[in-house]
């Protein structure tokens, strides 16, 4: 939204909808052309500086480099343990699974942008949401049972926004409902990092309540 506001303030016609959709891409291209920058349609740091866009919100928090909040409300009865790189039929597990009742709210654990989502139950992850934070880290929330219709690619999310409901879609269809949370560094499908210690850092409950 800040980018759209600065584009408008600099004389570029654009609708303020908070989404990095087609109209925003066109406005960014026009701005890059006018400012003598390489025309890509991507709001590069150079373009944002020229437009006076404020610096992005930090991706993580004081206790975690990546997470600001836990991806489920404190009221939910959840449990998890360090299953990062545990053997699975599809290979080593590059995530942390959080077991919780079917339909429990799934929250965005960071600031970011929705990069992709799927509302049909297919593939390994079933229903999923991909979010990229301001620092370029990707977050993969998988095995959901539903995703709000109001959530669309390009939307801005914040810590605590509901992005889905817990489920067992994809290859989790015969297991307990759980959230598969994966943190990927730099790009979708890139090298990942263990979410466990970051979840512990932002967990609103004592560890005794979440240990399996």
Please state the length of the chain: 212
Alpha helices in 36-186 (DSSP H): 45-51
Residue-wise pLDDT for 54-71, tens only, equals 766 677 888 899 999 999
Specify the fold of 79-210.
Glucose Permease (Domain IIA) (2.70.70)
Where are the domains positioned within the chain? 2-51, 79-210
Q: Secondary structure of the chain in the HEC alphabet?
A: CHHHHHHHHCCCCCCCCCCCCHHHHHHHHHHHHHHCCCCCCCCCHHHHHHHCCCCCCCCCCCCCCCCCCCCCCCCCCCEECCCCCCEECCEECCCEEEECCCCCEEECCCCEEEEEEECCCCCCCCEEEEEECCCCCEEEEEEECECCCCCCCCCEECCCCEEEECCCCHHHCCCCCEEEEEEECCCCCCCEECCHHHHHHHCCCCHHHHCC
Cα separation of 148 and 196, whole Å? 26
What local confidence, expressed as pLDDT, does residue 210 receive? Answer: 64
Residue-wise pLDDT for 174-185, tens only, equals 889 999 999 998
Q: pTM score > 0.85 for this model?
A: no
More confident of the two residues 96 and 191: 96
């Amino acid at each position: 939204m800040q980018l759209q506001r600065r584009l408008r303030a600099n004389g570029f016609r654009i609708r303020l909808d908070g989404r990095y959709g087609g109209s925003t891409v066109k406005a960014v291209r026009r701005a890059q052309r006018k400012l003598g920058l390489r025309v890509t349609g991507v709001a590069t740091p150079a373009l944002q500086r020229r437009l006076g866009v404020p610096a992005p919100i930090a991706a993580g928090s004081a206790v975690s480099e990546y997470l600001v909040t836990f991806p489920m409300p404190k009221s939910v009865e959840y449990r998890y343990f360090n299953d990062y790189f545990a053997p699975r039929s599809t290979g080593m597990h590059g995530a942390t699974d959080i077991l919780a009742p079917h339909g429990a709210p799934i929250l965005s654990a960071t600031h970011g942008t929705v990069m992709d989502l799927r509302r049909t139950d297919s593939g390994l992850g079933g229903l999923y949401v991909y979010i990229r934070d301001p620092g370029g880290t990707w977050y993969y929330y998988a095995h959901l049972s539903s995703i709000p219709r109001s959530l669309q690619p390009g939307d801005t999310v914040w810590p605590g926004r509901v992005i889905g409901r817990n489920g067992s879609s994809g290859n989790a269809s015969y297991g307990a409902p759980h959230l598969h949370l994966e943190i990927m560094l730099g790009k979708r499908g890139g090298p990942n990092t263990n979410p466990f210690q970051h979840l512990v850092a932002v967990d609103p409950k004592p560890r005794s309540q979440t240990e399996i």
